[in-house]
Amino acid sequence: MSVILAIESSCDETSVAICNNGKITANVIANQTIHENYGGVIPELASRVHQQNIVPAVQQALTIAKVNKNELNAVAFTRGPGLLGALLVGVSFAKSFALALNLPLIAVNHMQAHILAHFIDDPKPNFPFLCLTVSGGHTQIVLVKNFFDMEIIGETLDDAAGEAFDKTAKILNLPYPGGPLIDKYAQLGNPMAFKFPVPQIKELNYSFSGFKTSILYFIRDKQKENANFIAENLNDICASVQYSIVNILLNKLKKAAKQYQITDIAIAGGVSANSGLRTALMQLEQELGWNVYIPAFQYCTDNAGMIAIAGHYKYLAGDFIGQDVSPLATMNF
């Protein structure tokens, strides 16, 4: 029996969850709206808002889960990767909370936790499986051999797919966060209206820097011809961009599945909430005989539920860390 408090503070969500014997009984996410004023996450502001949010979020999670702090068995937290100042708030709180209650600490890799979010609800993937992990900062194809034996077999050489969505939104003058808005408008547009170049990258790796530049030049040239081009074609632009990014992602995933002869396929990370990616993946499930796994929406974006489930499996393995632990802005698997 284990009751674990988990803390996630890697970017701009302050999240706290409770995992009771492998079941997530609370998953509180406090979003930071202040960054909307700046068109992106401001690290120093994120750190300050984490400090404001973390105590109320912990109290709310304990209340929702109907757990007294004295019933906890361990404290799990995101050690990295992420924004160093933001991580520092979560790590410092976790260390202090655990020290005060004499609880063991569990350090969790944020990217591993995204993958392990698949073990919160049924159905769960079978080992080994492939996971396409896509967020604003990461794009990876991961071969998952067991709960903590994961190998990155493909990754972006520069920018992440989520960054390509965000940059496109900025070019189109959409408010932050722009990724969900592109998804919204894309559902109303023609995905074949405009063509964008597909990066020719070797093996299972990705690149989105050139793709972002091509969109920038495309919009610039079209606006020279028609100053109202964006307003008149917004839905079609968004649909075409989303179609292109999804195709780039899934073409490499199909190649990986064939190369490793694996049919259990999962997606994780913030971009896994994108409806275009989800729909295309479900179509491939039918076409290629895959078993596709997509987490519930609340476990796609940054959240402590995934930290809690990772903490649960680490607790079972007796994988604890000492009070001298520090956050890591970059952290390998």
Does residue 39 surpass a pLDDT of 80? Answer: no
Please give the structure tokens belonging to residue 128: 């080994």
Q: Convert the pLDDT of each residue in 49-84 to its tens digit.
A: 889 999 999 999 999 999 999 999 999 999 999 999
Supply the DSSP symbol for 175.
P
Query: Structure pTM?
Result: 0.94
Percent of the chain topping pLDDT 90:
86
CA 106/CA 321 separation, integer angstroms: 6
CA 308/CA 263 separation, integer angstroms: 27
Query: Which domains are seen in the chain, by residue range?
Result: 3-115+300-316 (3.30.420.40), 125-294 (3.30.420.40)
CB proximity list for 279: less than 8 A, separation 6 or greater: none
CA 197/CA 210 separation, integer angstroms: 9
Q: Convert the pLDDT of each residue in 101-147 to its tens digit.
A: 999 999 999 999 999 999 999 999 999 999 999 987 889 999 999 99
CA 91/CA 89 separation, integer angstroms: 6
Q: Are strands 105-109 and 129-134 parallel, antiparallel or unpaired?
A: unpaired
Q: 3-state SS string over 207-224?
A: CCHHHHHHHHHHHHHHHH
Please give the structure tokens belonging to residue 139: 């794009």
Does residue 292 surpass a pLDDT of 70? Answer: yes
Q: SS3 for 285?
A: helix
CA 263/CA 257 separation, integer angstroms: 7
CA 90/CA 95 separation, integer angstroms: 9
Lookup result for tokens 């503070």:
9
pLDDT band per the 50, 70, 90 thresholds, residue 35: low
Is residue 97 within 8 A of residue 5, CB to CB? The reply is: yes
Q: Residue 44: which of 75, 83, 1, 5 has the closest Cα?
A: 83
pLDDT band per the 50, 70, 90 thresholds, residue 33: low
Kindly tell me the number of DSSP H helices and DSSP E strands found in the chain: 9, 10
- The pLDDT of residue 259 is 98
Q: Which helix (H) or strand (E) holds 144?
A: strand 139-144
